[in-house]
Structure 1
Amino acid sequence: MPTTWITVCDTCKRDDWQPGAALQTDGERLAALVEARAEGETVSVRRVSCLMGCSHGCNVAIQASGKLCYTLGRFEPTPDSADGIVSYAVLHAASETGQVPYRTWPQTVKGHFVTRHPPLPDETPG
């Protein structure tokens, strides 16, 4: 099975973020929480600078080769958010297609889905 990646935007700032008041962006805080929660799980975590979803910050992408991929946003940088993100990614990793039945979604990710992307084709056009 391909690795499911949680890609966390570490430059995300929520609307209430105050420059100078916080040493880290909201995205950096969420990334650290997700990294800690994902230790020992069947998923990997990486940080990127900007997923271009500023109006939806904090943003993450759940991705794996050959599977449906998802962008989720509007998270607060809290342990509950990190738990839901990682729990959903573990379900994504266990799914053959990346599709996870709604009834099994963690409550903390419901309402946070922004986009769904089909898997890329295996072949290049002729």
Structure 2
Amino acid sequence: MLRPVEPGPAIVACNTCRHSATMREDAEGMRGGARLAEALRTVQASDPRYAAVAVQDMPCLFACQDHCTVHLRAPGKVGYVMGRFTPDADAARAILDYAIAYAASEHGRVAFREWPEGVKGHFITRTPPEGFVVE
């Protein structure tokens, strides 16, 4: 049931997410989450700045009220679930830009002024790291 991955900062994309609030798949029959994971990997490969953050995917993050969701996580840092993205390169770039700032932060908190415009309004939850709660 669980597949091991390397520890460290990662974006985990839900590969079974709907394409949008009204569409399950796109015209080619591909789920939105799979399309977003593909866009994240393509954008990541285009810029060496993004190499420090892994792009991983898994079925269903259980955020089904939203679509195209990702979980941003790193050891010892607050994690975030974000969603309602369009599964394209612009969204992927915004997510990766935020992930770079997140990875560089001490506890996972990125100052709002550093948030890429493309992630604002997309946060669903934040989760404390194991053994901690947020003050």
TM-score (norm 2): 0.84
2:109 corresponds to: 99
Does the C-alpha gap of structure 1 residues 21 and 37 become closer, same or farther in structure 2, counting only changes over 3 Å?
Answer: closer
Q: Displaced runs of 4+ in structure 1, greater than 3 A?
A: 18-21
The one of 32, 36, 56 aligned to 2:42: 36
**AA partner of residue 77 (structure 2):** K
Counterpart mapping for 1:37-52 below 5 A = 37-39=43-45, 40=48, 41=50, 42-52=52-62
Structure 1: distance between partners of 2:54 and 2:98: 13
Counterpart mapping for 1:71-90 below 5 A = 71-90=81-100
Structure 2: distance between partners of 1:51 and 1:94: 25
Structure 1: distance between partners of 2:118 and 2:129: 25
Aligned partners of 2:32 and 2:87 also within 8 Å: yes
2:64 corresponds to: 54
* Aligned partner of residue 65 in structure 2, secondary structure: helix
Structure 1: distance between partners of 2:25 and 2:15: 15
Q: Which moved more, 1:87-96 or 1:11-20?
A: 11-20
Structure 2: distance between partners of 1:19 and 1:27: 9
2:3 corresponds to: none
For structure 2, the residue ranges without an aligned partner over 5 or more in a row are 1-6
1:69 corresponds to: 79
Displacement of 1:78 in angstroms is 1.4
Structure 1: distance between partners of 2:122 and 2:40: 16
After superposition, the CA RMSD in angstroms is: 1.6
